[in-house]
Structure 1
Amino acid sequence: MTGDYFHRARTACAAGMAAILLTAAAWAEPQHGIAMYGDPALPPDFVSLPYANPDAPKGGRIVTGEVGSFDSLNPHILKGSTPWQLRLIGYESLMGRSWDEPFTLYGLLAESIEVGPNREWAEFTLREEARFSDGSPVTVEDVMWSYEILGTEGHPRYRGVWDKIDTMEQTGPRSIRFTFNAEDRELALLVGMRPVMKKAQWDGLSFAESGLDVIPIASAPYVVTDFEAGRFVELTRNPDYWGRDLPFMRGQANLDTIRLEFFGDGTAQFEAFKAGLLNSNREFNAEKWERQYDFPAIADGRMVKSVVPHQRPTGMTGFVMNSRKPQFRDWRVREALINAFNFEYINETMTGSAQSRITSYFSNSVLGMGHDPAEGRVREFLLPYADELPPGVLEGYSLPVGDGTARNRANLARAMDLFAEAGWTVQDGVMQNATGQPFTFEIVLSNGATEEQTIIDIYVEGLRRIGITPTVTAIDSAQYKERESAFDFDMTYFRRGLSLSPGNEQYLYWGCAAAETEGSRNLMGMCSHAAEAMIDKLLNARNQEDFVAAAKALDRVLMAGRYVIPIYEWNISRIAHAKELTFPDYIPIYGDWIGWQPDVWWWQE
């Protein structure tokens, strides 16, 4: 299966990107789907998504664990901490995404989409049968209200698209057209992906201030039926779900119950899985997967271990430095702290050196940068910004490699040289500047993040050897969310997943406006005109060469910006689960990604 899988992944990815070229006459009438590049892979009469089993039985339950807590059930606002899964399994949008194509949407609440010659507008026609969970119809008015409330009072992640909508108008009993004020080919897809809620539910209520008092009504197959603040949330499959026979939904939403349990730390979560309170658990530590999954439920077959490959980019996982803070504004300081991070020794300690390191934001994919000097279109795209680029973007950049010992002598020496270049030297055993101010910073972690805490403990020991003693603060998940949203940290844990079709979300991750917007995902506070120019080229690429070159160039700007200390890459997923929890043999190119578990899993007695 693995060989066939990788062949399909390469073929699908290459086919999607090779078809970037679109003509002005690409869309002459309403269509069943839309691809960012080329045409959708599935025909109008498709039976189901290729990675779903249309004959899957209904029933059973999945119980997963999360470290942390929650104090809100509204995932669409900035206030409060919400189980992240609710935004994905509790709501539907006009169109749904296939995870077996780089970026393609098929009709969900909408039966069709039509776009202008240059995608300067997009028009959707709602399905007449679309219903909310209370049985009321989904109307154009609900869609328009949802888009406006999300764009004006919702989480900042929704505002970028809202600001690019020039007009939003009803064009028929079930039709709505969005006209855009920016040249951006991705907008036609992004407007199809906003969650739709019931307008009438919010009459007289404050959307932005809601928490546990209101469970938003949506049209998805699952509804929240039970919860206890900070402890668990349970969702139940709606037996009257309106869309169960749609091609896009066939073979999805098979489980009767989805339950999310919350724990104070990772150890408690793992013990709960071993004891049978949870029946599915993702493992991110390769050594733990090999050595600690030998408990009775695994041995007697009640639980099984599954490994799932993928072909998506690694994204970035590590510890981010907040460049808004004065001590992190100099790239040499950030590079010094990367050198002081003894990855090889940490990797041996934590995983027995079983996991490789992330080498760039888009590594493990065709979009990943090279580490040699920039050439061809990549160099051509970057040269206009040469004066503002940090060293390594054009010349080539690679992470430092240690000797694997605890002393990390060569890399610490390099770190001290970089600090000296930036005006910091060790005086009386303390790293100080010329005025005697010590170099220090605070590392903020969430309570229960035991693995991250262990990594940081090793890191801090190394920093002390060069006269730096950071403060490590562990706080509960609600406080952590507040501080992260307000950018009230010097360094913290960081994770950004990236797709095979990067687009507008890149502005939210790395854009200048996001750097100044509390609650945005630009935690490092970077503002780079070169990065924004590369994102713009991604969005408006007309051929494969330009699209790939823009992604590789953006990868260089991000990596040589030295904002994050990278740790492990995960090019496979490790999931231990009840033997009854079953997934199809056909694995999408995104692998174990959003919209795979629990969406297409089923319970097989």
Structure 2
Amino acid sequence: MRHFIPFMAALLIGTPALAEPLHGIAMHGSPALPPDYKHFSYVNPDVKKGGKVAYGVVGTFDSLNPFVLKSMRTTARGLWDPIFGHLVYEPLMTRSSDEPFTLYGLLAESVEWDEGRSFIQFNLNPNAKWSDGEPVTADDVIFSFELLRDKGRIPFSNRLTPVEKMEKIGEHGVRFTFNDKADREFPLILATATPILPKHAIDPATFDQSTLRPPVGSGPYRVKSVSPGERIVYERNPDYWGKDIPSKVGFDNYEQVTVEYFLQENTLFEAFKKGEIDIYLEGSPTHWARAYDFPAVQNGDVVKDAFKPQLPTGMLGFVFNTRRPIFADVNVRAGLSLTFDFEWANKNLFEDAYTRTESFWQNSPLSSLGKPADEREIKILGTTRDRIEPAVLDGTYRLPRTDGSGADRKVLRESVELLKKGGYTIKNGRMSDASGRPLTFEVMTQTQDQEKLAITYQRTLKMIGIDMSIRTVDDAQYQARSGNFDYDVIVKSYPSSLSPGIEQMGRWGSSSRDKDGSFNFAGVADPDLDRLIEAMLTARSKEDFEATVRAYDRMLISGHYLVPLYHIAEQWVARRKHIGYPEALPLYGYQLNTWWDKRAQ
């Protein structure tokens, strides 16, 4: 017996400590909600389900598989959708919209991990079922990750890269053990950003092909009918397994959800005016101010709402494709960035509704704007600090304010000087390089608003001898060309959150530069940016994380990869009066999948 205790001690020393099952996990700190929470604070738990809603989108589709590239890029909205909700497919865990980055149980009722996040184990809810009544199993989870790795598009195909081992634990558990490519954010991405698919209902051999066959999912809705390129109708699954779990209470309140497709934004809006669409998400201040003087607004059938989320502004801009030699020099990009006259455009096009965006995380603690780099940031930057413009490093950086004339000579002179540093001078009225080749490029636009912006930019560029052309294309061409990086300059938006992470590799990381379908629209491949992204992903404390993001923000600003445009602090939504929503507004703003049809109450 005396040998038994030392033997057990040795055994325990060599065995990893058992992790405690958790109801939720957070990127930094702990979940705000306790294990016995009843529902999220921003839903109406007492709402009666019923009625219907019709959404509208610009685009088309030829497939009900949004996870592969062999289809038009505008695939079926609603199946797996960050705006309308994941109606058909579900992830293992769901994200709270009232915390920076916290997940709670969905298909997985609990989760386990260690302090170093070397593994994560998902314990499936034994009640989870597919829409055909079959149970959701651990084998389904493993199948989903392997199938998407082999046949899926980016980013789904990359999910298992940081995984050393994936194994079934007991009847309902799946454990992922990570290799040295995993960062501290990765377990959360694994949990919330990958759809779980039914092994029994999918043929791997044909998964990467376009299909219009209604899929089997675990979500609250099923596909009722499909009109390719025109319409998808979803109906509530009356046997939805998750309707009473805390993270789903107050969500998915319609009996029927319709997504209507339109070729142009103006035809979508006309359909909204006629009552064919119930909710219109507005993005144009001019349109918001001038276009809502129609009978349904006047008689109260249409209501305009403005929501104020507590989020970073993100970045919208004319993005330079640095794969093109003319944009390889940072001085050229900087000079071209100064030429856009925001003050003129804001006054003449946008009712003075916008504020100039000067940081990728403006209006948040993550922004470098107005903040000198502190000791923590300087240490994180290391020798990279030498690549950051002095004004950006000391917090005094601002884009120039023009006189609003559309022809501010002082600002245009600054632009010309920067272009001169990049090898261009004005010769015979044209901005040309040393060999006499003129500086010319094309801006590809998709909408009338983008075209108006491009015309404004075109006019001021012409004043310094630059010939910029504009090509407006339809949605299918836009998706194809942007996916293949077939453009000189493109108008793109980079949404920001309070918890930036692995998505930055897809936008600015070297590994995504040459991958078709990635979001690296600027074509950036910079080891210093890669290192800062890695530091962001491995930060242990909130202080280190925020300092790293600010340092990263400074590098992006100094790279002049785009012409920064503008933002507005509100979210604008117009709705039919029978559409209701909760009183509480979460951190991330309105959530359409918590709204309801008042006529069903």
CA apart distance, 1:494: 0.5
Match in the other structure for 2:559: 561
Query: 8 Å contact 1:400–1:411 — kept in the other structure?
Result: yes
Query: 8 Å contact 2:388–2:555 — kept in the other structure?
Result: yes
1:559 and 1:86 map into 2 onto residues whose CA distance is 36
Query: 8 Å contact 2:512–2:518 — kept in the other structure?
Result: yes
Stretch of structure 1 that moved more, 523-532 or 384-393: 384-393
Match in the other structure for 2:314: 315
- CA-to-partner distance for each residue in 1:36-77, whole Å, 9 max, x for gaps? 112111111111111111111111222222222222221112
Asked whether 1:475 is paired with 2:473, we answer yes
Q: How does 1:9-20 map to 2 (within 5 A)?
A: none
Match in the other structure for 1:362: 361
Match in the other structure for 2:393: 394
Secondary structure of the 2:246 match is coil
Match in the other structure for 1:439: 439
Secondary structure of the 1:441 match is strand
- Name the CA shift for 1:38/1:204 in 2 (closer, same or farther; >3 Å): closer
Q: How does 1:75-224 map to 2 (within 5 A)?
A: 75-80=66-71, 81=73, 82-88=75-81, 89=86, 90-182=88-180, 184-193=183-192, 194-203=194-203, 205-208=205-208, 210-224=209-223
Query: 8 Å contact 1:392–1:560 — kept in the other structure?
Result: no
Q: How does 1:15-34 map to 2 (within 5 A)?
A: 28-34=19-25
Provide the TM-score with structure 1 as the length reference.
Answer: 0.91
Query: 8 Å contact 2:96–2:104 — kept in the other structure?
Result: yes
2:68 and 2:200 map into 1 onto residues whose CA distance is 18
CA apart distance, 1:578: 1.1
- CA-to-partner distance for each residue in 1:295-330, whole Å, 9 max, x for gaps? 111111111111111111111112211111101111
CA apart distance, 1:389: 4.4
Query: 8 Å contact 2:353–2:568 — kept in the other structure?
Result: no
- CA-to-partner distance for each residue in 1:419-445, whole Å, 9 max, x for gaps? 122111222222211112121112122
CA apart distance, 1:86: 3.1
Query: 8 Å contact 1:61–1:603 — kept in the other structure?
Result: yes
Consecutive unaligned residues of structure 1, counting only runs of 5 or more, are 1-24
Match in the other structure for 1:429: 429
Match in the other structure for 1:604: 598
1:536 and 1:64 map into 2 onto residues whose CA distance is 38
Query: 8 Å contact 2:263–2:475 — kept in the other structure?
Result: no
Consecutive unaligned residues of structure 2, counting only runs of 5 or more, are 1-15
1:507 and 1:191 map into 2 onto residues whose CA distance is 15
1:368 and 1:262 map into 2 onto residues whose CA distance is 37
Secondary structure of the 2:583 match is coil
Match in the other structure for 1:284: 283
Q: 1:38 aligns with which of 16, 25, 29?
A: 29
Which amino acid in the other structure matches residue 400 of structure 1?
P
1:201 and 1:33 map into 2 onto residues whose CA distance is 30
2:404 and 2:123 map into 1 onto residues whose CA distance is 59
Q: How does 1:567-578 map to 2 (within 5 A)?
A: 567-578=565-576
CA apart distance, 1:146: 0.7
Match in the other structure for 2:9: none
Q: 1:517 aligns with which of 515, 518, 523?
A: 515
Higher-Rg member (1/2) = 2
- CA-to-partner distance for each residue in 1:142-189, whole Å, 9 max, x for gaps? 111111121232121124432101110111111100000025221221
Query: 8 Å contact 2:358–2:369 — kept in the other structure?
Result: no
Give the CA RMSD over aligned residues. 1.9
Which amino acid in the other structure matches residue 436 of structure 1?
G
1:310 and 1:522 map into 2 onto residues whose CA distance is 27
1:64 and 1:47 map into 2 onto residues whose CA distance is 29
Which amino acid in the other structure matches residue 419 of structure 1?
L
Stretch of structure 1 that moved more, 216-225 or 239-248: 216-225
2:469 and 2:285 map into 1 onto residues whose CA distance is 29
CA apart distance, 1:390: 5.8
Match in the other structure for 2:8: none
CA apart distance, 1:497: 1.2
Asked whether 1:62 is paired with 2:60, we answer no
Which amino acid in the other structure matches residue 379 of structure 1?
I
Secondary structure of the 2:594 match is coil
Which amino acid in the other structure matches residue 260 of structure 2?
E
Match in the other structure for 1:408: 408
Match in the other structure for 1:267: 266
Which amino acid in the other structure matches residue 174 of structure 1?
H
Query: 8 Å contact 2:55–2:259 — kept in the other structure?
Result: yes
CA apart distance, 1:204: 5.9
Q: How does 1:324-343 map to 2 (within 5 A)?
A: 324-343=323-342
Asked whether 1:497 is paired with 2:488, we answer no
1:216 and 1:200 map into 2 onto residues whose CA distance is 12
Q: How does 1:223-242 map to 2 (within 5 A)?
A: 223-242=222-241
How many residues are aligned here?
574
Match in the other structure for 2:242: 243
Match in the other structure for 2:378: 379
Query: 8 Å contact 1:581–1:602 — kept in the other structure?
Result: yes
Query: 8 Å contact 1:331–1:390 — kept in the other structure?
Result: no
2:506 and 2:567 map into 1 onto residues whose CA distance is 22
Which amino acid in the other structure matches residue 105 of structure 1?
L
Among all aligned residue pairs of Structure 1 and Structure 2, give the percentage whose two residues are the same amino acid. Answer: 40
- CA-to-partner distance for each residue in 1:212-233, whole Å, 9 max, x for gaps? 4344322111222222222222
- Name the CA shift for 1:189/1:74 in 2 (closer, same or farther; >3 Å): same
Q: How does 1:514-553 map to 2 (within 5 A)?
A: 514-553=512-551
Stretch of structure 1 that moved more, 115-124 or 196-205: 196-205
1:355 and 1:26 map into 2 onto residues whose CA distance is 53
Provide the TM-score with structure 2 as the length reference.
Answer: 0.92
1:266 and 1:204 map into 2 onto residues whose CA distance is 37
CA apart distance, 1:373: 4.3
- Name the CA shift for 1:466/1:87 in 2 (closer, same or farther; >3 Å): same
2:507 and 2:260 map into 1 onto residues whose CA distance is 29
Secondary structure of the 1:590 match is coil
- CA-to-partner distance for each residue in 1:423-468, whole Å, 9 max, x for gaps? 112222222111121211121222xx11111111121122222222
Secondary structure of the 1:378 match is helix
Secondary structure of the 1:394 match is helix
Which amino acid in the other structure matches residue 400 of structure 2?
P
Secondary structure of the 2:550 match is helix
Match in the other structure for 2:580: 582
Match in the other structure for 1:3: none
- Name the CA shift for 1:388/1:556 in 2 (closer, same or farther; >3 Å): closer
- CA-to-partner distance for each residue in 1:116-135, whole Å, 9 max, x for gaps? 23110000111111111122
Query: 8 Å contact 2:130–2:198 — kept in the other structure?
Result: yes
Stretch of structure 1 that moved more, 251-260 or 399-408: 399-408
CA apart distance, 1:576: 0.8
- Name the CA shift for 1:403/1:83 in 2 (closer, same or farther; >3 Å): farther
2:472 and 2:287 map into 1 onto residues whose CA distance is 24
Which amino acid in the other structure matches residue 86 of structure 1?
L
- Name the CA shift for 1:139/1:26 in 2 (closer, same or farther; >3 Å): same
- Name the CA shift for 1:292/1:322 in 2 (closer, same or farther; >3 Å): same
Which amino acid in the other structure matches residue 381 of structure 1?
I
Which amino acid in the other structure matches residue 54 of structure 1?
P
Which amino acid in the other structure matches residue 309 of structure 2?
H
Stretch of structure 1 that moved more, 102-111 or 463-472: 463-472
Deviation >4 Å, runs of 4+: 387-393
Match in the other structure for 2:295: 296
1:240 and 1:83 map into 2 onto residues whose CA distance is 23
Secondary structure of the 1:117 match is coil
Match in the other structure for 1:4: none
Q: 1:459 aligns with which of 454, 457, 460?
A: 457
